[in-house]
Amino acid sequence: LLRLRPGVYHRRAQNVALYGEFNLGNREQFLKGKSLKVNFDPDKKKMYMLASGTRKFALVPLLRAAGVSDERMKQELGDAIFESSNAMEKKEGSTVKKIHQIATGKEASSLDEALTTFKGLLDRTVLDKETTQTTLERGVDKIDGEVLLKSAKRLIDMAKGVDDGDDKGSLQFLSIHSADDLISNRIKETAFRNKRKMLFRLKNSKKTLKQAVPVREFDKAIRGFFNTSLASQGDQTNPL
């Protein structure tokens, strides 16, 4: 079975939307398993970070939180896109504080706490140095501010027609896996999603460890592998 390798891939959707898709090697560790994309709206001249396609955040404040200077952003994005995207944050620090709340389930006590959480999330991501060398011209094994910025710059170039994006079907971006590998990955993702539920049951009830483990969820993950098309196994990390 062929599977997309960890990396950052850029494409133009059928509705002409432009996306930089981050296929993480350990997606379950980022914002409770949510997928990550950079999105550019050429008409509004705005850059976003999307989590699972439903949560939308202004990218410029997050680039700043990741250590990218305003001058560096203006150099790569241009003044118009920088100003438009920067203006999306009405209160300083509100964007990164939202990220902190999603990641921890709690409000940040300070901006510094939120920044530490966000930087920690990026630092724990896993990418492939070989694929990122091709798509970002820089071999990296995790996300940092420059990775997000380079992805955003590629989307701008795609909007200008000077960049065609990436072919995710290319063999250089694919790896070979057995069914055992894919089932194992499903079990790991299920375990991560149910970790809090299990801890809550153990802490707040008289259930034994065996009773606290949601066995049905693991059965469902395994059955789902065989009952659904291999082409629909998860967002971005699909076997092809």
Find where tokens 């995790």 sit: 142
Mean pLDDT over the full length of the chain: 84
Higher pLDDT, 146 or 235: 146
The model's confidence at residue 233, banded by pLDDT at 50, 70 and 90, is very low
Sign of CA dihedral 186, 169, 236, 95: positive
Higher pLDDT, 196 or 150: 150
pLDDT of 175 reads 85
Answer yes or no: are the C-beta atoms of 233 and 225 closer than 8 Å.
Answer: yes
Please say if the pLDDT value at position 45 is more than 50: yes
- 67-121 pLDDT, tens digit each: 999 999 999 999 999 999 999 998 999 999 999 999 888 999 999 999 999 999 9
pLDDT of 173 reads 94
pLDDT of 3 reads 86
Number of continuous H segments (helices) and E segments (strands) in the chain:
11, 7
For residue 158, the Cα-to-chain-centroid distance in whole angstroms is: 20
Gyration radius from the chain CA atoms: 19
> What CA–CA distance (Å, rounded) separates 55 from 65?
18
pTM value? 0.76
CA distances from 94 to 53, 86, 237 (A): 20, 12, 30
pLDDT of 170 reads 93
Answer yes or no: are the C-beta atoms of 180 and 191 closer than 8 Å.
Answer: no
pLDDT of 31 reads 77
Find where tokens 């850059």 sit: 47
> What CA–CA distance (Å, rounded) separates 24 from 141?
10
The model's confidence at residue 8, banded by pLDDT at 50, 70 and 90, is very high
Higher pLDDT, 146 or 214: 146
pLDDT of 151 reads 98
Which stretches does DSSP call E strand in 52-164? 55-58
- 135-179 pLDDT, tens digit each: 999 999 999 999 999 999 999 999 999 999 999 999 999 988 566
pLDDT of 93 reads 94
Q: What is the mean pLDDT of residues 179-197?
A: 64
**Structure tokens belonging to residue 128:** 């492939």
pLDDT of 234 reads 46
pLDDT of 230 reads 46
SS3 58: strand
Q: Which residues contact 135 (CB under 8 A, 6 or more apart)?
A: 7, 8, 9, 10, 154, 166
> What CA–CA distance (Å, rounded) separates 239 from 85?
34
